[in-house]
Amino acid sequence: MTKRFLLLMLFSLCGESTAMAQPPASGVTLFGKVRDAQSKTPVPYLSLQLLTGTDARRIR
């Protein structure tokens, strides 16, 4: 296999993974800052999950 073919395959695989990413929600905007209650410093590496009432009851 040639280098050109390998590069083409690599770029096509990378492009497909970004194309399969989750599309943005329509009509919903969420933004803000989450800070520690005591020190008032931003919380690093925070991940949020929005749930419906039904989803929240299932997780508990």
Highest mean pLDDT among 35-39, 47-51, 55-59: 35-39
Q: What is the mean pLDDT of the chain?
A: 75
Q: Which residue has the tokens 């943005």?
A: 24
Q: What pLDDT, on the 0 to 100 scale, is given for residue 39?
A: 93
* CA angle (41 as vertex; 45, 49 as ends), nearest 5: 40
Whether residue 49 contacts residue 57, with contact meaning beta carbons closer than 8 Å, is answered with no
> Six-digit token pair at 9?
């395959």
* Mean pLDDT in residue range 19-35: 71
> Six-digit token pair at 2?
């040639």
